[in-house]
Structure 1
């Protein structure tokens, strides 16, 4: 039997939770309250505020004394950089702190008290890990952890059940709970802020899976705290969206295309099929979840602006941090 070497035991103090928030101080309060109750706690909590206009800064400050030995770092962006820009900055701050592990999350989740211990259990074996989440109503939230690489779209019916190993290989990522080691961040660089929203975490997780075995583990570590309108499809749900999401989901296909070209995995026919399927899925979402056909113009506008990105000869992937350090 082949012996698989493992890393040193996980030290919670080497982990940083990086949170991105925007004008949702009520939800942020619930998340920070859950972090206070964690055992163990991380070494740092980084809150990236995407230029909120509510009382977010005051809320963050009110938790500073309650975190014990955990250092709380607050960064307010000058403008709203979207989830992509926020997570890129959160990752940068955490990396610069020397964090060995970076745990990314939105402001609309709570951490379960033993969440970090559960993730840390897998840290000696893997360097790109996704835990499981409970949905708003307490049900098990299903996340599409596999990507059909040639199409660059999630596989909607990848098996949900786990075997005795307790993990499943993944080639995607979700910033609502991504747990990633600094070695992988160093190699693939920071999340790409050019996405603004949508496809950024899938792409980042895909990039990570090209460098290290990436897994989703059978550990419930987060609970979603925001109710989202859904269409119940039986074994799966389809969430409501917004005009902004409709625009970026189509526009950002061009950024994925550029990454595929740079990494020599781009097949124009299959990638185009993936874009067509994405467009069709968004039409279905409009009709069956939101009960309207208004909003289709945002899909076409996203495709139009994406063509400009796809033709940009100066486009480059996010640089590895090791290269940036060498150049600096």
Structure 2
């Protein structure tokens, strides 16, 4: 046992862990193994498979009997990206009646008392982010505040916590987002149109408009995949890919739509944020990946994002019907 009593009003069985995976069965296996060691466990685990071509399905089935909770496996017909996977995972969890949905990628492990730690905060907040250890065991810093006018994370948001044990956030990260069904009902499912990048930032921002969203000083996950980094001391810059470079610029178009829809769009400052994002990706190329090959993907994404932003027929994701 964890030794920590469950807070009154929190039922571990009301939570669902929703995992998105794609061709990383070795990492998924580590995550599912960590869930078998959880105490307490959630009520169910949902695994959304983005049309993997490896042995992901076999790995999932090997855990069905011993994971100790209901296991729902959904293999999609095509790769919908993290955005589409998390949208489907949250839909499945919501329709199963889950009160809490805990989203995570396949490249993390859950600490045994992770759900107990998140449960401590569940009677106070409805949109919660826990902390993570990095691959090497160090404390992973996540930029939990967005500058909404610029549409970019604030890199100097304080990393420490005071005696309250939490900091308010206006962003989100699908690697560990713990969110209540009431908030999901109001803001709808994550938008699959993003494919990857900015989807969780926007979703977390939408949640923060409906409830007080917080990051809490509780370590609940450990990253299991090593990523090349440029160490800048307090902060670091991870390696990326051409696909990410494209979508980080393209999806500025979707961000612009969401900010417009909620009266938060400031054209000049958002354009500055887009320029800063482009510059940051150039720095990532130069200092982490030691190349400038990939710049064309940034330019193509920027161009396509401008086209998306001009789509007059665009609509945000709809709210969901609130059910018992």
Paired residue for 2:25? 25
Paired residue for 2:56? 56
User: Hey, what's the Cα distance between the residues in 1 that align with 2:16 and 2:187?
Assistant: 19
Structure 2 length-normalised TM: 0.97
**What does the per-residue CA deviation read over 1:140-191, in whole Å, with 9 as the maximum and x for residues that have no partner?**
0000000011111000010000000000000000000000000000000000
Please state how far the C-alpha of 1:38 moved relative to its aligned partner.
0.2
Task: Give the 4+ runs in structure 1 shifted more than 6 A.
Answer: none
Paired residue for 2:42? 42
Name stretches of at least 5 consecutive residues in structure 1 with no aligned partner: 1-6
Structure 1 length-normalised TM: 0.96
**What does the per-residue CA deviation read over 1:51-99, in whole Å, with 9 as the maximum and x for residues that have no partner?**
000000000000011122x100000000000000000000000000000
User: In the TM superposition, what are the counterparts of 1:1-328 in structure 2 within 5 Å?
Assistant: 9-68=9-68, 70-322=69-321
Q: Secondary structure at 1:10's aligned position in 2?
A: coil
User: Hey, what's the Cα distance between the residues in 1 that align with 2:274 and 2:312?
Assistant: 21
Q: Secondary structure at 2:66's aligned position in 1?
A: helix
Q: Secondary structure at 1:47's aligned position in 2?
A: strand
Name stretches of at least 5 consecutive residues in structure 2 with no aligned partner: 1-6
Please state how far the C-alpha of 1:108 moved relative to its aligned partner.
0.1
Please state how far the C-alpha of 1:307 moved relative to its aligned partner.
1.4
User: Hey, what's the Cα distance between the residues in 1 that align with 2:230 and 2:19?
Assistant: 28
| Contact 2:32–2:67 (Cα < 8 Å) also in 1 | no
User: Hey, what's the Cα distance between the residues in 1 that align with 2:50 and 2:173?
Assistant: 19
User: Hey, what's the Cα distance between the residues in 1 that align with 2:158 and 2:195?
Assistant: 30
Q: Secondary structure at 1:65's aligned position in 2?
A: coil
User: Hey, what's the Cα distance between the residues in 1 that align with 2:156 and 2:115?
Assistant: 28
User: Hey, what's the Cα distance between the residues in 1 that align with 2:279 and 2:74?
Assistant: 39
Q: Secondary structure at 1:133's aligned position in 2?
A: strand
Please state how far the C-alpha of 1:8 moved relative to its aligned partner.
5.2
User: Hey, what's the Cα distance between the residues in 1 that align with 2:292 and 2:151?
Assistant: 25
**What does the per-residue CA deviation read over 1:212-261, in whole Å, with 9 as the maximum and x for residues that have no partner?**
00000000000000000000001111000000000000000000000011
Q: Secondary structure at 1:66's aligned position in 2?
A: coil
